[in-house]
Each structure stands twice: as C-alpha cells, then as structure tokens.
C-alpha cells in the first residue's frame, strides 16, 4: 500500500511520470495490485498511481499494453463498496480514456458499466461523482 502510494505521489509531476515508467514502475504497481487483489488499500493507492501515471500520453498506451485497464476494472469490481477504490478507479479510467484505443478497450471490458455502477452506488460521494 505504501509503495503504491509513494508512486502515486511521485507521479504528480510530468517529469516523474516519465521517469517512473522508464524504471518499470507501471509494471510494479500493476503486479502489486494483482498480488494483493483482496486488499482495498493497495487497490485504492494502486488505482491512484495508475491515474497519475496516465497523465502522460505514452504511459496511457503502456498501461493498456501491460493489462492495466483490466487490473483497474477488476479492483473496482472486487471492491465495489469501497468509495476510495471507486474514486481512484474512476479517475484512472478517465485518464486512460483520453487515448482513443483505450476508450475502445475500456468499453469492451465493461468499463462503462463499472463506472456507472460506481456512480450509482456512491451517489453521495463527491470524489466518485467527480471522477466518474
């Protein structure tokens, strides 16, 4: 959880987004999310890291290539009741969807339904509503 949180925070700058990707950080975050799929804290900070890393166009492509869309949507499905996972997951989906190919992939993997369900389930949570 702390590792994904550190990457999330470091990926707050454009320069660091590139450095983290170049050092294999996308794969590390996705692997942590896969290994700790039951841990909502890892999923929340992992989705936050992916959200921030996807602020870079090259990273949007790389995240998709490395299976990140499925990992994020899986986290959102598994932790549907957790508003934090839903908010950061919606943010990751939003940023990944700036790439047209990713839009298609998100839709084909059921991402539209996942985001809408998050917004329905967490109607009173401003973070989910803003990101969704």
The residues, any chain, with a CB within 8 Å of residue 22's CB and separated by 6 or more, are none
pLDDT value of residue 132: 87
The pLDDT tens digits for 82-117 are 999 999 999 999 999 999 999 999 999 999 999 999
Query: What is the model's pTM?
Result: 0.95
C-beta separation of 75 from 31 below 8 A: no
Rounded to 5, what percent of the chain is helix, strand, coil? 80, 0, 20
């Amino acid at each position: 959880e702390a590792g994904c949180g550190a990457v999330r925070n470091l990926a707050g700058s454009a320069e660091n987004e590139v450095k983290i990707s170049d050092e294999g950080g996308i794969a590390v975050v996705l692997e942590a999310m896969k290994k700790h799929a039951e841990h909502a804290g890892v999923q929340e900070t992992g989705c936050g890291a992916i959200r921030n890393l996807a602020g870079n166009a090259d990273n949007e492509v790389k995240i998709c290539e490395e299976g990140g869309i499925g990992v994020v949507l899986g986290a959102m499905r598994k932790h549907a009741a957790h508003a934090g996972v839903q908010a950061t997951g919606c943010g990751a989906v939003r940023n990944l969807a700036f790439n047209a190919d990713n839009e298609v992939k998100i839709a084909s993997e059921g991402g539209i339904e996942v985001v809408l369900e998050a917004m329905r389930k967490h109607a009173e949570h401003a973070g989910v509503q803003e990101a969704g």
